[in-house]
Amino acid sequence: MNLSSRVGGIAPSATLAIAARAKALQRAGVDVISLSVGEPDFDTPAHITAACIEALRRGETHYAPGTGLPALLEAIATVSTGRNRIPCSPDRVIVTAGAKDAIHQAMQAVLNPGDEVIVLTPDWVSYGPCIRLADGVPVFVPVDPTTFQLTDALLEAVTDRTRMIVVNSPSNPSGAVLDRHSLGLVADVCRDNGIVALSDEIYDRLVYGVPCVSLASLAGMEDLTVTINGFSKAYAMTGWRLGWALGPKPVIDYMARVQSHTTSQAVTFVMHGGLAALTGDQSPVEEMRRAFDQRRRYVLGRLAGMGYRTAPADGAFYAFVEVGGDDVAVASRWLDEARVAVTPGSAFHAPGWLRISYATSLPRLEEAMDRVAAL
Ligand SMILES: Cc1ncc(COP(=O)(O)O)c(C=O)c1O
């Protein structure tokens, strides 16, 4: 059977193997503590769910404008201009079926065959595949996870085929947050070479005592940056599949073309939930952030007590731990002997590291750390 070599070139994620084993053990009744998932364990705040249900009852079940409900585009522009300091208007925004869909569309909109895209590693698992699906070539540039400071190595990775650079801060998998100096280096590279930045800021609301600066807020970057964000992490809305991109109008217009021939639009009543999320009570976001912070401190303290070195976990809900050597073997041992599922760093181009998601209740984290400490 004829199959696409483009899709064939995308390997299924290495993370899935351990996650699948963890699930199989759980199904067999084994008490596995899963610290491998990238989603909040909280319920979506009730006022958001209520707004969606009301929209359904009102009959908001028809097509909406392709880039999103006008009120939602307006709300995203307002939040981006206010909180993120990104000069923005609704015509520079597109609402998508999750942040991942926005990333995929942005790659489709910007890249031509053979175009190179710099990806800072450790990196989230879907950037490479999204680049390859757009016939681009990912160029992975390692950043030291223990500092997460960019250096001139970034400049050396730029060639005359470089068209885009992907930045993700706060980072999945490391939880680290890029400082102004590092963001400034990215901005210099983009401005000097006319390169577009894709800045994935899906964890921007989840930072702990450090500022999260939007790349597009730096001088001259608003027309060179496609900012990706969404509802999944801040509002515990992973299953709603709702996200957005904002950026230069030509890129957003091309993304709208892609969307018009693929999903058509984000789901109409789901967008009403998103509108309630952005315009309604923000206190649940802060409550969840505080809970994550408490768990973060606990996990980091326990790991330090066991002698592990970790990346600066200033954001998101991940601790990134240096275990040295064969991280897949270590993750397997944690699963087999401690019944604790984590993700090997190799999945993020960071062999010798493990990603621990602390989006799990404190008692379960305590139990998990006790089990690992007893190994
Ligand atoms: C860095 C990063 N970007 C994007 C996404 C995708 O988010 P969404 O659920 O909105 O598609 C994730 C989810 O794991 C993520 O960690």
Average pLDDT, the chain: 96
Regarding whether 226 and 303 lie in a shared domain, the answer is no
Rounded Cα distance between 189 and 133, Å, is 25
Alpha helices in the chain (DSSP H): 5-8, 15-27, 46-58, 70-82, 99-110, 127-133, 153-156, 180-193, 249-261, 268-279, 283-305, 327-338, 362-373
- Assess whether the C-beta atom of 282 lies below 6 angstroms from ligand 1: no
Nearest-angstrom CA–CA distance, 344 and 349: 10
Distance CA 72, CA 278 (A): 8
Q: Is residue 363 scored above 80 in pLDDT?
A: yes
Query: Which residue segment(s) compose the domain that 311 sits in?
Result: 5-44+283-373
User: Which pLDDT does position 13 carry in this prediction?
Assistant: 65
Q: pTM score, two decimals?
A: 0.97
Ligand 1 atom 13 nearest Cα? 38
Query: What crossing angle do the helices spanning 70-82 and 268-279 adopt, rounded to 10°?
Result: 30
Whether residues 109 and 140 share a domain: the answer is: yes
| Ligand 1 touching residue 172 (CB < 6 A) | yes
Atom index in ligand 1 nearest the CA of residue 230 equals: 10
- Is 327 near ligand 1, meaning CB less than 6 Å away? no
* 172 alpha carbon – ligand 1 mean position (Å): 9
Q: What is the DSSP string of 184-233?
A: HHHHHHHHHHTPEEEEE-TTTT-BSSS----GGGSTT-TTTEEEEEESTT
Question: What is the bridge-based pairing of β-strands 243-246 and 225-230?
Answer: antiparallel
The CATH number linked to 153 is: 3.40.640.10
Are 38 and 51 found together in one domain?
no
Pull the structure tokens for residue 187: 């901005």
Q: Are residues 216 and 351 in the same domain?
A: no
Examine the domain organization and report whether 202 and 62 are in the same domain.
yes
Query: Do 71 and 98 lie in a common domain?
Result: yes
Choosing from 257, 279, 301, the residue where a domain stops is 279
Q: What is the C-alpha to C-alpha distance for residues 318 and 170, in angstroms, rounded to an integer?
A: 10
Provide the pLDDT confidence category of residue 204 given band limits of 50, 70 and 90: very high
Are 178 and 123 part of one and the same domain? yes
pLDDT digits (tens, 9 = 90+) for 127-169: 999 999 999 999 999 999 999 899 888 999 999 999 999 999 9
CB 164 within 8 A of CB 310: no
Q: Are residues 19 and 31 in the same domain?
A: yes
DSSP-derived secondary structure for 309-320:
EE----BTTEEE
In this structure, the answer to whether residues 94 and 243 fall within a common structural domain is yes
Are 189 and 271 in a shared domain?
Answer: yes
The count of domains in the chain is: 2
Cα–Cα distance for residue pair 312/294, rounded to 1 Å: 15
Return the number of other C-beta atoms located less than 10 Å from residue 242's C-beta: 26
